[in-house]
Amino acid sequence: MLVLLASVIGSFGAVFLKIGAEPLKKGLKYIFNWKLLLGVSLYVGSSVPFIMGVRHGELSVLYPMVSAGYVCTMFWSRIFFGEPITLPKLGALAMIVAGIVCINAGGR
């Protein structure tokens, strides 16, 4: 559960990285904005529950669960940026989820 939590936190980090990167179009002097710093903090902060989670499990089983962040990011992209969720994207998400399930089933 901690690894999944880390994935969700990291996916929010990606959202804020994108939002915070927008002012950089006006120049590098805008690199220190709170949204970009929050994105970096969430990305880095997601390593705390990840490390706590992998302490007691198999890395080869737990690390692929990080890809659950891609699933979350797809939905955040739709919610925050209005990006379309297309059939190919849904197919890719299904493969990611199937991979996570298969790897976790093989780790028992």
Position 14 scores a pLDDT of 94
pLDDT for res 107: 59
C-alpha distance from residue 6 to each of 9, 64, 65, 90 (Å): 5, 12, 10, 22
Segment-wise mean pLDDT, segments of 10 residues, the chain, 108 residues: 92 94 85 92 94 88 86 94 96 92 77
pTM here is 0.82
Per-residue pLDDT at 21:
92
